[in-house]
Every structure is written in C-alpha cells, then in structure tokens.
Amino acid sequence: MENLECTVGKDGLNFQCNLCDSDVVHSMAEILLRGLATASVDSTTGDIFKSPSSVAVGMKSELAEYLIQRSMTFVREAVDGGEDHSEQLIKASTMPTEFLSDLIDGFVASKRNFLSHVSGFLSSETRLNKIKDFIQKLEMENFWTPDVREATAGTILKSIDMKCIIHCPERFDTQDKLAEHRNLCRFRIVNCKNDGCLASFSANHIEKHDSVCPFKVLPCEQLCEQHVMRCEMDRHCASVCPMKLINCPFYQVGCESAFPQCVLDKHCSERLQIHLMYILELTTRHDAFVNDMNQRLHLLEKAQSLNELSGALDNRTLTLTAKEQEAKIKKLEQDLKVQETKLKKLESEFKSGKEQCKTANVTLEKLADAARAR
C-alpha cells in the first residue's frame, strides 16, 4: 500500500498515489481470513480424506484470484454500462466491507460440498465453532500474513472504489511530485501524537481517533487547573481533583453544605460559629438524652427490685397455702380413717343381726311345726 506505483497513462501522469483508508483495508483483511476459513471448513465437512488445513493453500489462491477477478468484472460491467450498477457502485464505495462480504459469500457457496447443504448445518453452532477454531489456527501459524492480506484487500478496494471515496486516485508526472503529495495525502499513515499511544491510522481519521484516544491529555472535566489523560479522568475526578465535591466535615451534626474540596478550609473558617452552634445543640441533645436514659435506667432498676420483692412475697404465700392444703389433706385422711372404722363396725353389726334373724326364723319354723303337730 505504501509502494510507489507507476502506471502508463495517456496524459503522461504515470505515477499514481493509490493510498487507501487503512482502517477499511484492515477490516477487509480480517474478512478475507474469515472467508478462507469458512470456505475451507464447508468444502471438507464430512470428508474423511480432507481437512480444512489440507485445502487451505489452494483455497487461499482460489479465493484471492476469484475476488480480484470478480471486482474487475464488476468495474468493467459498470464502465461498459451494460447493466444498471448504480446501487452496487454506491455500496462498493461507501460500504466496501459489506460488498466484499457479498463476494466472499458467493465464493463460499460455490465451494460447499453436499453435506454442507444439509438442513441446519450452515447455521449450527458446531460449524461456527469449527470456523472460529480454524481462524485461530491460521492466525497462530501466520498462514496468511496480515500484510499480504492487506495488499490483496488494497487491490480489491482500488478496483471497486470507483467514486474514490476511500482511496486516493491522484496521478503525477514525476516520482518526486508523487512523493511530495504522499506527505500530505489524506490517506497517508500517521502515528498518534499523544504520549503513550502506539496507534497508527490514515490521516483522515486523526480527529476521529483523537476524540477517543485514551492517552489524549484533556482539561479536567470538573474545571480544576490540571490536565489529565482521558483514561485517568474518572479516577482523577473521583479522588484527587481539587474541584471534587465533598460534604462538610460537620455534616453529621447538621451542616449539609457540599463544595469543592479545595475550599474546605475557607468553608470551615467562614462557618466556624455556625459549626460551634451545631456542636452545642448536639451536646445539649446528648445531655438530655443521657439524663433521660439515666431516668429510664433508674425506673428499670426500681421495677426490677419490685419484681424481686413481689416474687419473694409470692413464694411465702405459696408456701403457706401449701402448708394449709397439707393440713387439710391430713385432716381429710384422718376423717377418712374414722369413717372406714365406722363402716367396718356397721358391717360387723350387720353380719351379727343377719345371724340373729336366721336363728329367729329357725325358732319360728320349729314352733309352727309343733303347732301343726298338735
């Protein structure tokens, strides 16, 4: 992408800039690697004799040749005017990554074997995982180096960007003029000027990168006099910034003021009497609270003493009651014994009377028999 290109032109402008937007080229290079992995996986699915790695070399050459050929065919058809390619031209120049993805999808579809067309496989998690794993393997083995992929992506980009939106079409008659132009070209590669940042990008993205660069030094968001890197701004504002809002140290006693911590001494000095009043009020309330607690404690101790005395009286009453009940029970037991004695006496008398009745009956029967005999 940085090499000086010499092309023969009818107007004598033989040296063409052809620098491209580096961010777009990088994105297209990533799409190329994914396209290679996808085509390699889909073309060997279910094949016990082939693996994605075994076909990757040939697939890479086929993919690059196919994309370059298709992009040139697209340009030729657009120039010839045989078909209306206005929408595709706009997409190619404004959304080149999507345009490239469409071309790759067509290539991948042509390489799928029978098993890859089985319903559900193309959207299955297994397939996606295989593609992801193979991409990682290609990256680890440096199979298709980033610079080679970016060169291929640049070639494709220059072919499809007919509106010259994302690459430079300028031509010059001498190499010196081309070199001079490239020092100012909006697509020249520049490095971030912020200390600590290693990012590089096309010059047309300077403002975009600067707006998000974590190493950009900015004025404090809380308007203190310090300048802080964007990545340190949150920590600065939340901790050491002199303009950080803090509560008054006497907040707990009544002062609800909030102010930048740099004016803490001034605040405390100006509101000294007010703070003393807050402390006095707090002390008064505290003393009243202590007195109230002491009174409550005294009442509790008194109540406890009464409860203990009441408990003692209750114990004596219970003891006396128990003794009275024991005496009654003993008296009842004695009365019961007397009644039992009387009952036994009555039983004895009853038995004696019963015997006498029997004797009297026998006597009467004898008398009656004697009377009948006469």
Q: CA–CA separation, 10 vs 54, rounded Å?
A: 46
Q: What pLDDT does 11 receive?
A: 54
> Tell me, what DSSP letter sits at residue 239?
T
**H or E element, residue 246:** strand 245-247
CB of 157 closer than 8 Å to CB of 18: no
Q: CA–CA separation, 100 vs 103, rounded Å?
A: 5
Token pair, residue 173, equals 């008659």
Task: Give residue-wise pLDDT tens across range 325-374.
Answer: 888 878 777 877 767 776 666 666 556 655 666 665 666 667 667 766 75
Of the given ranges (9-23, 186-200, 266-280), which has the lowest mean pLDDT?
A: 9-23
With a cut of 80, say whether residue 220 has pLDDT above it: yes
Residue with tokens 């029978």: 114
Task: Give residue-wise pLDDT tens across range 168-192.
Answer: 999 998 999 999 999 999 999 999 9
Select the more confidently predicted residue: 319 or 263. 263
With a cut of 80, say whether residue 8 has pLDDT above it: no
Task: Give residue-wise pLDDT tens across range 77-109.
Answer: 766 655 555 677 777 778 889 989 999 999 998
With a cut of 50, say whether residue 313 has pLDDT above it: yes
Task: Give residue-wise pLDDT tens across range 104-131.
Answer: 999 998 888 766 666 455 567 788 899 9
Could you give the C-alpha distances from 102 to 77, 97, 360, in angstroms and in order?
17, 9, 143
- The number of C-alpha atoms within 13 Å of 289 and in the hemisphere containing its C-beta is 6
Q: Per the confidence metrics, is the pTM higher than 0.85?
A: no
Q: Could you give the dihedral angle defined by the CA atoms of residues 331, 337, 339 and 340, in that order, rounded to the nearest 10 degrees?
A: 160
User: What does the pLDDT average to over 189-216?
Assistant: 95
Q: What pLDDT does 355 receive?
A: 65
245-247 and 227-229 as β-strands: parallel, antiparallel, unpaired?
unpaired
What are the boundaries of each domain within the chain? 15-187
With a cut of 60, say whether residue 157 has pLDDT above it: yes
